[in-house]
Amino acid sequence: MATSPLPRAPGLQIFCMYGVGKPTERAYHYVRRAGPAGADRPYALDARVTKRSDDLYGGVALTDGDGSIPLVSLGYVCADAWRRNADDGGGSVPDDGDKGVPGRNRTSSSKRIASFVTELNPGGSVVKIREYPHRALGVWNGGLQEGPGSGDHVNIMGNHEMIRDVVEAVTGHGGEIEERVHSGVFELAANVERLREAREKKKPDPARAGG
């Protein structure tokens, strides 16, 4: 799969704004249908599969997200591909004030640019994640659209805090917006990287195969 890098624009700021904290479908368990029913539709959702400890209900696996898009799709590129330190062979640079949390280097402009230079972010454009935890109002409390604190995929357009942040960014005050992460997106990014490395190790060596 081909990927296109960001423009080489060191002055560019990217704000990844999305909702979190709402159960979101991420995978499905299917069962093969037998008999005449399987002729046109050979597979059906296996509603018998349920594990509450794993957020698996009626054949549907749930994860963190905004109700429509899972966290890995919302924040992975912002947390890893656009900010992983490419010079040290992988991994992000921790912030001096938040030890152990990858990708939050805001200690100085020089370190900030260095920490964001990656293959897909060649200009070191600063990337900030701004997550909005889902806090919906009930219908009887005026929450027909879930209210001004919704983190839902669609209803977040009415989230007062996000609207304020967007206005700050487009009016030239993006530097005042601080990164805020409520989810485990950095841990998720680290897991994806480990799985990718493990997959690469399992690939056959072309040199050995040819010998």
Average pLDDT over residues 172-196: 92
pLDDT, position 80 = 92
> Number of H helices and number of E strands within the chain?
6, 7
User: Measuring CA to CA, how many Å separate 53 from each of 21, 31, 56?
Assistant: 17, 22, 8
Q: Are 1 and 115 in contact (CB under 8 A)?
A: no
> Mind listing the pLDDT tens digit for each residue in 118-175?
889 999 999 999 999 999 887 776 667 788 999 999 999 999 999 999 999 999 999 9
Percentages of the chain per state (helix, strand, coil), in multiples of 5:
35, 20, 45
> Mind listing the pLDDT tens digit for each residue in 26-54?
999 999 988 776 778 889 999 888 877 67
| Mean pLDDT for the chain overall | 81
pTM of the model: 0.78
HSE toward the beta carbon, residue 9, CA cutoff 13 A:
8
Structure tokens at 46: 């296996």
